[in-house]
Amino acid sequence: MKQFVPAAAVVALQVTASLAEELLPVQIRAPSPAHFSDLVANNTLDFGCRPIAHPTSDGKFELQALLTRDQISWLHGEYSSDEAITVRETALDKRQTSGKAPIGTGDRFSGGSVTPSGLGTKASTASIASILNINEINSALTGLANAYPGAFFKYNLPYTTFQGRTSVAAYTGAGPDTSKYRLYLSAGMHARERGGPDNLLYWVSDLLAANKSGSGLTYGKKTYTNAQVKSVLSAGIVLFPLVNPDGVVYDQSSGSLWRKNRNNRSGSSGASVGVDLNRNFNFLWNFRKFFSSSVSPASTSPSSEAFYGTAPESEQETKNHVSVYDKFPGIRWFMDIHSAAGTILYSWGDDVNQSTDPKMNFLNSTYDGKRGVTGDSVYKEYIPAADATAIKRAADATVAGMKGVGSRSYVSQQAVGLYPTSGASDDYAFSRFWAEPGVSKVYGFTMEFGYSTNFYPTTAEFNNNIRDTNAGFMEWALTAIAVGL
């Protein structure tokens, strides 16, 4: 397959609101995920957070993308003689211009004098009208700190963003001793994935409110007791709700489906601005060295949605994310919150898992240049059998909780999925135990809430997302406690 390279079409992927409305949802169907291999290696195309091949009711597989008219015409041309693969635009409106949940204006928490309140402590008919803007995210953290003194602590992270913003994290449940915290959740890494910070903040708000009142929580058809609330809090929760503030501000103001941060050192305009933070972590970052040349787990092109930056942890946002592990050395479980695919992903993301050959691992240079081909037997990533069982148990429980709410279906799968990734936050979390002597073993997960490539939910979908994720967080945390902290 030839690569689609017209500059105008690449720029149209993410530049301005006027161009963003030219992006159209497309479904590509094929008999097997292998049929998509060449397509997903084309890093000028936008497959959402990551390409995922969804099984269909007729035994085929579906890959969703956001493409320009030119790109759609190109795809039709590429597949015109291949009867096994079909390309069609979908009726699902991606809502760059209308129908989306609004972004909040002003500050609903009044600088922290109003306490955030989630959906789990409210009537089933309750609804949150709008998505939090960046000022409200920070104000919500202040509101929780004011409402729960001595129980909720916030602090500034050490690195300011490219545009000079200070990022804020918080911790709650296990008191002031930072060595006692075991659960770490982050959100807002990809700017366009709206509602991720909200999902996390409203969940923590629910936990604190229910703990104080002695009540339980209800998310749709899922209910949790006060004893379960107290158990989750006692595990110690660290939250970094807005990893990419520069990108979120830009996306919320432009409606441009912006994904990356706003660092313009590698490219000063259009799609060349920004780094994909979820390809910037220090796990097999130099993919051209570590992976087979036949796969593209990230991109060296600044114009790509998956641009990996200039070095591992080159970005201030990534450094902030990593700094949390130093402040909270006892973290054992990590969840990165993304949209939109309807999946819970677990390690590894660089290749298919295996538990028989410990020497076949990401640190062994013997396998450099061989990783990432998911259908071969040359390389598979080592994971101890007990770890493989534990992380799949947690992922399956999380999915069951999200499905139990009653809004929609979710699936769990190994993160490598349709194609490998490098430099991702979940694999970095898990890899530290082997790569950095003396650190805790951390199980890493990615939650992809919502519907495929539907980054701008309607108000109803936004509220469904809150309930789904919050039930998922509860099940994930309870399973972590059961497996062991």
Cβ atoms of residues 50 and 416 within 8 Å: no
How far apart are alpha carbons 198 and 194 in whole angstroms? 8
Sheet hosting strand 152-156, strand order edge to edge: 152-156, 168-172, 237-240, 183-187, 333-339, 443-449, 343-346, 411-414
- The DSSP code for 14 is T
Nearest CA among 420, 258, 240, 253 for reference residue 347: 420
Q: How does DSSP classify residue 61?
A: E
* Assigned token pair, 460: 């109803």
Distance CA 35, CA 38 (A): 8
Q: What stretches of 92-244 show up as alpha helix (H) in DSSP?
A: 134-147, 196-213, 226-234
Active site annotation includes 436: no
Tell me how far apart the alpha carbons of residues 284 and 421 are, in angstroms, rounded to a whole number. Answer: 9
Phi-psi region of 372 (alpha: psi -120 to 50; beta: other; left: phi over 0): left
Alpha helices in 168-315 (DSSP H): 196-213, 226-234, 245-254, 287-290
- CB of 430 closer than 8 Å to CB of 388: no
Tell me how far CA of residue 82 lies from CA of 1, 75, 78, in angstroms.
12, 11, 8
Cβ-based burial of 436 (10 A; exposed 0-12, middle 13-18, buried ≥19): exposed
Cis amide prior to 34 (ω within 30 degrees): no
Report whether 245 contacts 161 (CB < 8 A): yes
Burial of 485 from C-beta contacts in 10 A (0-12 / 13-18 / 19+): middle
Catalytic option among 315, 448, 461, 475: 448
Contact 455, 65 (CB under 8 A): no
Catalytic sites, residue numbers? 448
